[in-house]
Structure 1
Amino acid sequence: MTQTFDVVVIGGGPSGATAAHDLALAGRSVALIDKAGRIKPCGGAVPPRLIRDFDIPDSQLVAKINTARMISPTGRQVDIPIEDGYVGMVDREHFDEFLRLRAAEAGAARHTGTFLRIERSGNVATVFYRDKASGEEVRLDTRLVIGADGARSGVARAEVKGGKEIPYVIAYHEIIEAPDAVGSYDPARCDVVYDGQISPDFYGWVFPHGTSASVGMGTGRDGVDLKEATRALRAASGLADCPTIRKEGAPIPLKPLERWDNGRDLVLAGDAAGVVAPSSGEGIFYAMVGGRVAAVACEKVLATGQAAHLATARKRFMKDHKAVFKILGAMQDAYYKSDERRERFVTLCHDVDVQRLTFEAYMNKELVKARPMAHIKIGIKNLAHLMGIVPATGARQA
């Protein structure tokens, strides 16, 4: 007799693996389908809240960063110290597999293959995938489905209204063998490069990963040579001669979908739902939160039989993170349009209040409300820069 799972999770990245882990821990029968061999291009930064909320062991951190450097189009640099903590760095090749193994240890059944389609009969959904080892088409019967198969999700396109339309940038990076400090490279510092020659509408990055580093960029514009831009970024950082370990590219969504469920038996999570932060492109934390809220929503449906609970995944996520996404989206719209605007943005980053509030919000994943006067000052300075009242290369502190 064919087993009917409680939930089949399609996609084994941080979002899908988290959902499978949580549901298996809750005693549900779960299958996790992952397309092995794919590693998402990612800087790999994980804030303390992720480490705390998702119980990530120190062994998964390949580096601990204590400074972020913002670099303007004219080469001006602003170093922002990370006070009272650090930003952890992970290598997605190993981190994602750690999460999948943890889900399996909790009881999730792992399957390796490529998602094909979903068919239905009565209250049972059948997920079809092509097994990687045999090449055969395999079917899994299930009561519920979580689509966590990344940007341009096949599940979202087939199952959820609006799933075919989502804005994105293309990200590309190269993992290189990283030396000790050389050129402008510092193994304890993340560099973020706001330069239209590297990316006309996003940014470039140099993120240490211990014995390796991620060097890359993103753009939403056609005609940009991502490999050439990354080559230029490596040369500018003194990393041109470092051996390349691997190269990866993928779309990164920049806006949450208006709907994450089909109202019946399926909910999206992670990149498939569009939950990558605007401006920063940060996705690991939000993917894992997305997987967790999708698991909670499925648990409610399984407990009550009411499919309406699927919609609570998006509601819960947006309740906690909508304000941050809105502000980051406005920041990207305001400052990423031109090098002149990017120059002003880096100038704004010189401000101590901007630095403290930005990193407190990043580390804890919520807007800081403890210093209202600082928010007012930042708002005034922001308007002054956008209106051109102050010069882009003005004083380092107001």
Structure 2
Amino acid sequence: MMQEPVSPEIFDVAVIGGGPAGATAAHDLARAGRSVLLLDRAGRIKPCGGAIPPKAIVDFDIPESQLVAKVRRARMISPKGAKVTIPIEGGFVGMVDREHFDEWLRERARLAGAERRAGAFARIERGDDGVAQVVYRPKGDASMGAETRVRARVVIGADGARSNVARQEVPGGDAIPYVIAYHEIVRSPEGRDWDAQQCDVIYDGRISPDFYGWVFPHGATTSVGMGTELDGVSLKQATADLRAASGLSGAETIRREGAPIPLKPLAKWDNGRDVVLAGDASGVVAPASGEGIYYAMLGGRFAADAAHATLTSGDPRKLATARKRFMRLHGGVFWILGQMQKYWYSSDNRRERFVAMCRDKDIQELTFDAYMNKELVKAKPLAHVRIFFKNLGHLTGLAKV
């Protein structure tokens, strides 16, 4: 007698990608009692300044041990070298090293019950029963390219800005705009001229013609990098110039990393059937600031909630709730930051005015309130009015730089 072919093993949810979004989704689903596969390409480290606001630390139970530094000042530097130092009153911005932080998140998901596997996602197929089959190539497989299949009732695509899951499964998933970010992790210098509690944000067209450069302390190490959407810009040369300007040319280089960073949330995050996106795959990196860790983790949580609701109800329309919830909370902030980036980052003259504008105490206070608490501050209407007229003065060129 011929034996029936054995169906691939089945999970409630397969999470593709083990960054902050995917690891958070896997953790939440495992804690909810779902069977979860967390598939990640081991060894990849995303270039990232590593900043996380206090709200992320609280909302996602990030322990003190994961913070490699606490930043208490942000210094903005204009094309002409003007410097504006903004104190973070009554708090700090936590800094993490993505090499260790992402692994900690993945391991936390495993301890919660998710099954971790290292491999490269290839595609999604569907058998006669209509259940998604995730096809991947296990890392280190001796047969060099042999494919493995698992079935999953829901798939969460958290595989980065150029997500293969999004390209295959979600309308518009192949057209996400992005910048290329590049950074170098260097050994932090010692001495009184080095401020380990201050991050520098450099608005200078010679470093980045359409974004910015950064120098973010990570305790024993420092992240130095920049991003751009434009072709023909030498990322390595720009970073070398930034290191020179920051007195870090002679610092030991520990590693170099580059990756795409999305610029705009996708219009759709699910396929209406069994796939939902999270993190960079869905485009949730804040314009202008480039902040992504908090938004990725929140997107992962919402994707997990949507997957859980879909499995519980049998209604795939629940997958769309991930995007609806996220955009209800943060869509307005993303739109405002997008307009800021389009206008203020478009020339060095405007960057000069932008940095000058940030000397204003009202702007500093409301900006950091919004950053730390992840919501637009509505309790200070007079400050908003003052900011409107100051902003208008800079837009028209009437304000002095």
Match of 2:287 among 275, 278, 282: 278
Give the superposition deviation at 1:123.
3.4
Contact between 1:180 and 1:186, CA under 8 Å: does it hold in 2? no
Q: 1:139 aligns with which of 149, 156, 162?
A: 149
Alignment of 1:176 with 2:173, yes or no, is no
- Which runs of 5 or more structure 2 residues have no equivalent in the other structure? 1-5
- Say whether residues 1:265 and 2:274 are aligned partners: yes
**Could you tell me how far apart the structure 1 residues matched to 2:249 and 2:199 are?**
17
One-letter code aligned to 1:364: N
Structure 1 unaligned residues grouped into runs of 5+: 394-398
Q: Tell me, yes or no, if structure 1 residue 155 matches structure 2 residue 161.
A: no
Secondary structure in structure 2 of the residue aligned to 1:261: coil
TM-score by length of 2: 0.96
Return 261-270 or 130-139, whichever deviates more. Answer: 130-139
TM-score by length of 1: 0.97
In structure 2, the partner of 1:384 is 393
In the aligned structure 2, how far is the partner of 1:137 from the partner of 1:145?
Answer: 18
SS at match of 2:171: coil
Q: Distance in 2 between matches of 1:123 and 1:98?
A: 35
Aligned-pair distance for 1:197? 0.5
Q: What's 2:130 paired with?
A: 123
* Counterpart in the other structure of 1:327: 336
Secondary structure of 1:354's match?
Answer: helix
Offset at residue 182 of structure 1 (A): 6.0
Which residue number corresponds to residue 350 of structure 1? 359
Partners in 2 of 1:155 and 1:3 — Cα distance?
20
Matched, 1:109 2:119: no
SS at match of 1:149: coil
CA RMSD of aligned residues (A): 0.9
Looking at structure 1, the residues matched to 140 and 179 of structure 2 have their Cα atoms a distance apart, in angstroms, of 32
Cα separation, 2, equivalents of 1:62 and 1:186: 14
Query: In 2, are the aligned partners of 1:278 and 1:329 still within 8 Å (CA)?
Result: yes
Query: 1-side partners of 2:28 and 2:202: how far apart?
Result: 37
Q: How many pairs does the alignment contain?
A: 391
Q: Alpha carbons of 1:181 and 1:290: their partners in 2 closer, same or farther (altered >3 Å)?
A: farther
Structure 2 residue corresponding to 1:239, chosen from 237, 248, 254: 248
Corresponding residue for 1:32? Answer: 38
SS at match of 2:13: strand
**Displacement, 1:333?**
1.0
Amino acid at match of 1:123: G
Deviation at 1:379, TM superposition (A): 1.2
Q: Secondary structure at the match of 1:376?
A: helix
Q: Give, in angstroms, the shift of residue 181 of structure 1.
A: 4.4
How many Å separate the matches in 2 of 1:123 and 1:52?
A: 40
Matched letter for residue 58 of structure 1: E
Aligned ranges for residues 188-203 of structure 1 at < 5 Å?
188-203=197-212
Counterpart amino acid of residue 154 in structure 2: L
Letter in 1 for 2:138: D
Counterpart Cα distance in 1 of 2:192 and 2:204: 21
Report the AA paired with residue 128 of structure 1: V
Structure 1 segments (4+ residues) deviating >4 Å? none
